[in-house]
């Protein structure tokens, strides 16, 4: 029974929990032609940089307003502005995700807003905290808290607590991070191997690790025995390194199966690989070829949503979250040009019509779809 249940859960994971890496966001249409050039940071003078900084602050404020006034309900940020019956395999409509709570908590830390952080953390605990982990998803319509966590989101919540403890000089947050980190290690790590999720009802994990879930920076902070922590991070770093595709197409495999020792990827979802590269950059382990490739594609405006493993695009569409992530990678690697160009590309998807319900946010004005991951990752990128 457990084996069958594990197989079913893995299928659900691939349809639902992986939204934590791919964001569940709808990539936004873009013609296959050449994208317009974006001025490089090196070509700008001090006056232009100051003007751009002021403009970005206004864009950030408008986005924050859109999220809080249009995309947020009593339980957190809606997965999508459009409501649904909330019955799908993946989160939809006004369901809320621990992913969203964790991003907003990190945003509050980066912007130095202790009151906002405290409010978000209180709401996150009320909505998602279970005995063995944070539920990845809550349906207000069904009043249902899903009994499964997503490792990447638990780790982001823990990281936000560590960052808040340091930023706000509040040891209580650090103590909470230690406690929740120990809980995460107890349930999502077995024999030095980390798994995507833990099912609280069935007390089981899945059988693999999705590479974009491996947040090395946070794992290095866990309050567990040093030997256990070193073993875990060393092993997972090896999983990431061996999942590198090639210098020709320097992105990463999707998942690693522990039993077979094999990687698998149907296609390469760009957001997932960018999250992997960001996690590596946070510990100064990024591959130079990855950064060079990203810079080239961002400059040209041709970083698309999905590729074959050989590097051929399977689509000609792009998304807000893609360029938000490349901006964060630029910030982590100290590459101001990559950061600024990425923000400019990201803003191509921003709704600038003051008469639109989506004004200040990122979404499709025709269908009125606006996804949490796109908007929250853009907000976080502005704050980096």
Measured distance CA(322)–CA(353) in Å, rounded? 23
Q: What does the pLDDT look like over 184-218, one tens digit per residue?
A: 999 999 999 999 999 999 999 999 999 999 999 99
Measured distance CA(167)–CA(114) in Å, rounded? 9
Q: Which long-range contacts (CB under 8 A, 24 or more apart) does 225-230 make?
A: 228/185, 228/192
Segment 72-96 mean pLDDT: 97
Q: What does the pLDDT look like over 253-290, one tens digit per residue?
A: 999 999 999 999 999 999 999 999 999 999 999 999 99
Domains of the chain: 2-383 (1.50.10.10)
Token pair for residue 108? Answer: 């509050």
pLDDT grade for 89, boundaries at 50, 70 and 90: very high
Measured distance CA(280)–CA(187) in Å, rounded? 24
Measured distance CA(121)–CA(158) in Å, rounded? 11
Helix (H) or strand (E) holding 119: helix 114-128
Measured distance CA(277)–CA(280) in Å, rounded? 5
Query: With 80 as the cut, is the pLDDT of residue 23 above it?
Result: no
Count, residues in the chain: 384
Measured distance CA(110)–CA(378) in Å, rounded? 14
Measured distance CA(142)–CA(83) in Å, rounded? 13
The pTM assigned to this predicted structure is: 0.90
């Amino acid at each position: 029974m457990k084996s069958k249940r594990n197989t079913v859960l893995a299928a659900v994971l691939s349809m639902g929990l992986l939204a934590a890496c791919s964001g569940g966001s709808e990539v936004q249409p873009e013609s296959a032609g050449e994208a317009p050039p974006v001025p490089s940071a090196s070509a700008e003078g001090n006056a232009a940089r100051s003007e751009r900084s002021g403009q970005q602050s206004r864009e950030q404020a408008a986005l924050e307003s859109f999220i809080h006034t249009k995309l947020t309900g009593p339980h957190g940020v809606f997965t999508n502005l459009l409501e649904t019956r909330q019955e799908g395999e993946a989160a939809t409509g006004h369901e809320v995700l621990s992913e969203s709570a964790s991003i907003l908590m990190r945003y509050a830390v980066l912007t130095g807003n202790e009151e906002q952080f405290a409010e978000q953390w209180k709401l996150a605990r009320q909505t998602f905290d279970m005995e063995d982990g944070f539920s990845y998803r809550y349906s207000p319509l069904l009043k249902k808290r899903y009994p499964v966590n997503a490792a990447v989101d638990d780790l982001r919540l823990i990281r936000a607590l560590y960052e808040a403890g340091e930023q706000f000089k509040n040891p209580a947050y650090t103590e909470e991070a230690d406690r929740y980190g120990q809980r995460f290690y107890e349930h999502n790590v077995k024999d030095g191997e980390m798994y995507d999720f833990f099912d609280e009802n069935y007390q089981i994990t899945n059988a693999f690790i999705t590479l974009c879930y491996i947040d090395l920076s946070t794992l290095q902070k866990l309050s567990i025995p040093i030997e256990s922590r070193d073993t875990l991070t060393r092993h997972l770093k090896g999983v990431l390194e061996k999942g590198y595709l090639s210098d020709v197409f320097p992105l990463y495999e999707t998942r690693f199966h522990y039993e077979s020792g094999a990687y698998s990827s149907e296609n390469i979802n760009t957001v997932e690989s960018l999250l992997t590269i960001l996690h590596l950059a946070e510990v100064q382990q990024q591959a130079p070829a990855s950064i060079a490739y990203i810079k080239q594609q961002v400059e040209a405006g041709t970083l698309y949503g999905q590729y074959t493993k050989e590097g051929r695009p399977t689509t000609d569409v792009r998304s807000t979250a893609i360029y938000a992530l490349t901006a964060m990678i630029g910030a982590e690697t100290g590459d101001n040009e990559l950061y600024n160009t990425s923000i400019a590309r990201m803003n191509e998807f921003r709704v600038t019509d003051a008469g639109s319900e989506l004004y200040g946010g990122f979404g499709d004005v025709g269908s009125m779809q606006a996804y949490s991951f796109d908007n929250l990752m853009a907000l976080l990128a502005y704050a980096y």
